[in-house]
A and B are shown apart, each in its own frame.
Chain A
């Protein structure tokens, strides 16, 4: 009887221990979780070793272009310095990519759709020098492009110029200028046509308003818009980067589309820049600068032309003159530069918002 009683008395002790154990387990879990995060990062760093890695944060349609450029640059750097260099790529909508670099994506170089998105990085973070545009030739835009029309084979709606886009029964596909770099170039090209034919900004606003009344789908990026037009078969005409239009025509639906070059368009100048603070931190400044300068060499300019971007180099441009039709091109300077164009047309409460809220749907 006494033995039993003693045993019974012990009961409360292990239970108390159980509760203490529980607290300790929670504490250990927290420590474990934190330690997991910390050690992971240092392991990443150590794995780098001798070879150099660069991160190029780019916009949507340049995937094919930089695949070629990176291979050529890596071969040249290896030959000259005996060092392996790997260029990692990140692609997405230009504005989204700019935001990611501001939020800490450690790009060594950015190659974005327009100067405004590089400016945004310089203004909203301290990783990029504000005078970036002056550091490379041609305002840091080693290649250009323009905005053209992609229509269905045989051009059944007889689209020849901007004016034909606002005829009854024509559906136009363009991405959203709020989120897409390419769409902002589209918008300004249409504006340039409206201003030229109507003679005033008021006439241009009327034309662009009519044009957006013919848009059934606003995708958030250029690739999405191309997929809408090509894969889903929506719309009669796609306002597209010239390089994207060539790609869709040659690679996607051979014989399914025609390119129509309008009478007037805009010279789109995609910008490239070194992200100073990140490159300094990674010790990659020299190779990153060489990479950007490489874009201006005849070898890279050839690759640029082959990927349907307009080369800056006069010799290469002459060689590919047959590929790229001549047309009347306005530039962003005709709109007072990107800062002013962004504020006037695309900022909240700007012209695009006014136009878009006026469209009856």
Chain B
């Protein structure tokens, strides 16, 4: 009893110290470095790097890609998790495995899949070219690759939540005469709204920050098909370090905003990283 009481605060302090040191070295220091490097040539240079034509177009493209892929993945994630949690059908476990696939595939492979499918030498390449449809090395390719990568985020957040909630509420609603749509809108959606928001947040952060897969399908045309992470790489390779880190600091800010919103959500509604993502 005495031994436990004496060693616990010490052990706790040691653990806390290790955790904080780890955080400091691996998270805080790089974050500080990004902002320090970004501001190394002063605020004027920082601002100039952000309003430069190609930087602005990279920001616009990143927002556009996220604006298309995130809503589509919300619809998909809702549909998939609703089907999995509330209905029984054959092949359910296969569907769950498929949803997890993007997590286990390297992003580079995810990009190459689309080159193999839609590239000029790919399966649909000749047909697409003949009909003047651009997918690879254009915005649709970027959206497809981003959607693939961010596929699981919403669904993975919702499936455990919905399974935990069960289908009693829905069955009650239906037995009282509600239609399917009414049940979904008035019962299911309010039950999952915070989990959904949480999933959307993570999905959006990844959609804007993805590098590997979009790098493969982008074509790297300045001012046209460069998203923010790709633009950072280009600037870095041009020895333009201050500008590279200025754009990188925007992405870092996005991460900070995401984390803050996530903490607020957790604090306010008691969602505790249920799924580990």
Residue of A nearest to B239 (CB): A252
CB within 8 A of A104: which of B119, B144, B178? B119
Tell me the chain B residues, 217-244 only, with Cβ under 8 Å from chain A: 219-224, 234, 237-239
* Residue pair B121, A32 in contact (C-beta under 8 Å): no
* Residue pair B79, A89 in contact (C-beta under 8 Å): no
* Residue pair A91, B138 in contact (C-beta under 8 Å): no
Q: How far is the CB of B261 from chain A (nearest CB, A)?
A: 27
Q: What does the 1/0 interface line of A51-82 toward B look like (CB < 8 Å)? A: 00001000010011000000000000000000
Q: Give the contact stretch, choosing among A33-41, A137-145, A302-310, A325-333.
A: A33-41
* Residue pair B239, A104 in contact (C-beta under 8 Å): no
Measured in the bound complex, the distance between the Cα atoms of B68 and A33 in whole Å is: 10
* Residue pair A37, B224 in contact (C-beta under 8 Å): no
Measured in the bound complex, the distance between the Cα atoms of B143 and A88 in whole Å is: 21
Q: In the assembled complex, which residues on chain B have CB atoms less than 8 Å from the CB atom of A33?
A: 72
* Residue pair B224, A88 in contact (C-beta under 8 Å): yes
Q: What does the 1/0 interface line of B110-147 toward A look like (CB < 8 Å)? A: 00000100111110010001001111111110011000
How many chain B residues have a CB neighbour from A under 8 Å? 45
Would you call A223 an interface residue if the criterion is a C-beta within 8 Å of the partner chain's C-beta atoms? yes
CB within 8 A of B140: which of A40, A89, A223? A40
Q: In the assembled complex, which residues on chain A have CB atoms less than 8 Å from the CB atom of B9?
A: none
Would you call B35 an interface residue if the criterion is a C-beta within 8 Å of the partner chain's C-beta atoms? no
* Residue pair B221, A90 in contact (C-beta under 8 Å): yes
* Residue pair A105, B179 in contact (C-beta under 8 Å): no
Would you call A181 an interface residue if the criterion is a C-beta within 8 Å of the partner chain's C-beta atoms? no
Would you call A1 an interface residue if the criterion is a C-beta within 8 Å of the partner chain's C-beta atoms? no
Q: Is the interface of A mostly helix, strand, loop or mixed?
A: helix
Would you call B190 an interface residue if the criterion is a C-beta within 8 Å of the partner chain's C-beta atoms? no
Known contacts A25-B79, A36-B68; is-contact A90 B222 (Cβ 8 Å): yes
Would you call A19 an interface residue if the criterion is a C-beta within 8 Å of the partner chain's C-beta atoms? yes
* Residue pair B180, A22 in contact (C-beta under 8 Å): yes
* Residue pair A14, B174 in contact (C-beta under 8 Å): yes
How many chain A residues have a CB neighbour from B under 8 Å? 47
CB within 8 A of A125: which of B121, B133, B181, B223? B121
CB within 8 A of B178: which of A14, A92, A251? A14
* Residue pair A41, B140 in contact (C-beta under 8 Å): yes
Q: In the assembled complex, which residues on chain A have CB atoms less than 8 Å from the CB atom of B134?
A: 41, 44, 106
Measured in the bound complex, the distance between the Cα atoms of B224 and A91 in whole Å is: 13
* Residue pair A15, B72 in contact (C-beta under 8 Å): no
Tell me the chain A residues, 83-104 only, with Cβ under 8 Å from chain B: 88-92, 100, 102-104
Q: In the assembled complex, which residues on chain B have CB atoms less than 8 Å from the CB atom of A25?
A: 79
Q: In the assembled complex, which residues on chain B have CB atoms less than 8 Å from the CB atom of A32?
A: 72, 75
* Residue pair B76, A104 in contact (C-beta under 8 Å): no
Q: How far is the CB of A74 from chain B (nearest CB, A)?
A: 14
* Residue pair B72, A36 in contact (C-beta under 8 Å): yes
Q: What does the 1/0 interface line of A19-53 toward B look like (CB < 8 Å)? A: 10110011001001100111011001100000000
CB within 8 A of A103: which of B75, B136, B175? B136
Known contacts A37-B144, A41-B138; is-contact A103 B83 (Cβ 8 Å): no
Give 6 nearest A-B pairs by CB, closest first: A18-B180, A104-B120, A103-B119, A21-B180, A105-B137, A37-B140
Give B contacts to A, CB under 8 Å: 68, 72, 75-76, 79, 82-83, 87, 115, 118-122, 125, 129, 132-140, 143-144, 174-175, 177-181, 183, 219-224, 234, 237-239
Given contacts A15-B174, A22-B87, 15 further A-B contacts (CB under 8 A): A7-B177, A18-B183, A19-B87, A22-B79, A29-B72, A33-B72, A36-B72, A41-B134, A44-B134, A88-B221, A92-B220, A100-B219, A102-B121, A103-B120, A103-B136
* 12 pairs of residues in contact across A and B, judged by CB atoms under 8 Å: A10-B177, A11-B175, A14-B178, A17-B179, A18-B183, A19-B180, A29-B76, A36-B68, A40-B143, A55-B221, A102-B121, A104-B137
